Structure 1
C-alpha cells in the first residue's frame, strides 16, 4: 500500500515574532504620524483663533467713536496721558509706521507668566490669566466698560490682547487722528514658542 506523507510546515516561533515586530514598528510609525498631525492641527487652530480675535478686536477699535485728547470723554482712545509712555506722530516724526518700535512691543511675557513683564506702553493689557477676563486700562479717562483681554485657546493655552494708542498731529501740533496698535500673543502648544500678531488701526479726526 502506498504511503502519503502530510506536510505540516507552518510559521515557526521566530518567524511569528519577526512578523509581530514588523507590525509593531508600522503601528508605532502610524501612531507617531497621527500624534504629529494632531499637534499640527492644534497649532493651526490656535493661530486661527488668535487671528479671529485680532479681527474682532480691530473691528471693536474701528467702531469706537473718535475721542480727542483733552475732551474729558472717557475712552481707550484718549492718548494724551503722562501716566504711560505714548507716541505722537507728526509729518517730521512718525516712528510707529516703522517695524520693531516700542509702539508694537508687548514686553517680555514668559510661558510661566504670560501676562507678566508687559510693556508700560500698553493702554489696555491683560492683568488676570482667566478666560473672558476684562482688560485693565492704564492712565486716565479709562471707560467703565472694557473689552476682554484674555481668551481661551487650545491645549490649556490662552490668547492675550494688548493695545497701545498714539496721537497723530499736523505740522502745527493740532490733533488730526489716533493710531491704535492691537497686539495679540500666545505660547504655541507643544513648541512653547511665543507667537505674536499686530494690527494697526488709524482713526481720523472728523
Structure 2
C-alpha cells in the first residue's frame, strides 16, 4: 500500500530488500485529451495500446469538435508502467474517452488507488464525466491540464474554478508529450495518496464499482 512505501515486508531477513510496492493508476478524461500520448510518453515499457482507426460509423457519435485531425481512438485501454524510485512501481491504465465506451470505466477502476484526469482547455466539458466518476467513488485524483502545442492560456487557479474543483484537488499544467512533465503529474498524485492515507480521509481502492 502507498502508506508503506519502502518498508520491508514483515518477517523479512535483516537487510533484505523489499519488493517495490505496486499501485494501479487510471489516466482518464474526455475523447482526444491526450491519454494515450501520456501513457506512451512516461512508460518505461512499450505500452499496450488498443487504438483503432476512426471510421464513418463514428460520425455523429464521436465528438470531433476541436480535434478534427484525430485519426484513431482507444477502444479498450492503454497500459504502461513507470518506476518511481526503487520502492514504487505504477501501473498505468488509460481509459477510453468516448461515451459509448464509458461502461468499461467501472471494470478498469477496480483496484485503482488514484487517477489523473487530463483536461483540454479548448474542450473542458469533455472531462466533466471523469471528474464526476472519481468524485462519486471517492477515488483521489489530480487534474493535468494538457497544453496542446505547448500552450497554456489559463493559469491553474482559473481552471480549478472553471471545473468547480475543491481547493485540495491539485491542478497541474503539463504536456502529455513530455516524459518529465507527465512524471511530475504522477508524483503529485502519489503525494496526494500518501497525504490521504496519513489523514485517514477518502479511500482508495475502487472495489465498489457502482
Normalised by the size of structure 2, how large is the TM-score?
Answer: 0.23
More helix as a share of residues: 2
Relative contact order (alpha carbons < 8 A, sep ≥ 6): 1 or 2 greater? 2
